[in-house]
């Protein structure tokens, strides 16, 4: 089989000189043509199940504001979730919240491994490629979440997640909460125990970098204007927090 439209990753602003790396694993709802839409309904394909609504708009805006390279996923997480290892049950989900994914049902180990090789491997190779050209950047992954999940209303608007080292995420939270604009929390609405910090651990903490996952409620960024405004706010918060961390480290 010839895979002509399986572009797993895009590297944007590759020559950015800011001391940051941005990653957006769930940037796209693209499904390669040879998968025939995975048998999804139109509603499922347009829904948050297929991608992180607004996350790419925020990540691209932050890339420009911080002059930072950005690695963005090019294929829907329903084909393969680049923020999961192959061993994770939800790396290739047969169901996502209320939606069945017929094209993922009953896959053989060989078929699952092929998805991994075509999507996960080149995506994470792209992250390594960018990191190899930087000197100790701060790694920020950009995600969004739904206001309601499995019938439960989520009160939090911004979440700052970490894998095992809370130092940077806690400092960013302190700065954000002092601003008082958004309801924010540490490790909400997910945490490492939910298996969502795979990229942070694989590339950030493995290299001894500060690594934070941003979770933004998607109704705050579901238009380009709102995404731009939120990106600006987050850049100010991150810059302030890491400036303080650098000063402390220099003492």
Q: Which of 127, 194, 143, 159 shows the shortest CA–CA distance to 26?
A: 143
How far is the CA of 139 from the CAs of 69, 205, 216, in angstroms?
Answer: 10, 9, 17
Cβ–Cβ under 8 Å, residues 228 and 220: no
| Pair of tokens at residue 180 | 């008082």
| Pair of tokens at residue 141 | 């992954």
Calculate what percentage of the chain has a pLDDT beyond 90.
92
Q: Which domains does the chain have, with CATH numbers?
A: 9-250 (3.40.630.40)
Q: What is the structure's pLDDT at 68?
A: 98
pLDDT at 25 over 60: yes
How far apart (Å, rounded) are the C-alpha atoms in residues 76 and 119?
10
Residue with tokens 């990753």: 9
- The strand order across the sheet containing 138-145 reads 9-12, 70-73, 20-24, 138-145, 211-217, 158-161, 184-186
How far apart (Å, rounded) are the C-alpha atoms in residues 109 and 100?
20
* pTM (two decimals): 0.96
Phi, psi of 189 (to 5 degrees): -85, 5
pLDDT at 133 over 70: yes
Q: How would residue 142 be classed by pLDDT, with cut points 50, 70 and 90?
A: very high
pLDDT (tens digit, 9 = 90+) per residue, 192-207? 999 999 999 999 999 9
């Amino acid at each position: 089989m010839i895979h002509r439209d399986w572009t797993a990753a895009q590297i944007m602003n590759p020559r950015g000189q800011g001391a940051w790396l941005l990653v957006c694993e769930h940037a796209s709802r693209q499904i390669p043509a040879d998968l025939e839409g995975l048998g999804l309904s139109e509603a499922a394909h347009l829904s948050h199940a297929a991608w992180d609504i607004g996350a790419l708009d925020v990540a691209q805006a932050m890339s420009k504001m911080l002059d930072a390279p950005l690695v963005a996923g090019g294929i829907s997480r329903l084909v393969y979730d680049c923020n999961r290892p192959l061993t994770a049950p939800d790396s290739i989900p047969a169901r996502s919240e209320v939606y069945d994914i017929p094209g993922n049902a009953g896959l053989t180990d060989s078929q699952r491994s092929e998805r991994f090789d075509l999507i996960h491997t080149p995506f994470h190779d792209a992250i390594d490629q960018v990191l190899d050209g930087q000197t100790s950047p701060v790694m920020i992954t950009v995600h969004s979440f739904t206001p309601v999940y499995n019938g439960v209303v989520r009160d939090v608007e911004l979440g700052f997640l970490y894998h095992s080292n809370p130092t940077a995420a806690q400092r960013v939270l302190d700065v954000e909460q002092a601003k008082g604009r958004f309801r924010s929390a540490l490790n909400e609405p997910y945490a490492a125990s939910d298996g969502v910090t795979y990229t942070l651990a694989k590339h950030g903490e493995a290299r001894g970098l500060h690594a934070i996952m941003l979770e933004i409620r998607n109704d705050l960024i579901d238009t380009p204007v709102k995404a731009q405004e939120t990106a600006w706010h987050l850049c100010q918060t991150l810059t302030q927090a890491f400036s303080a961390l650098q000063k402390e480290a220099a003492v």
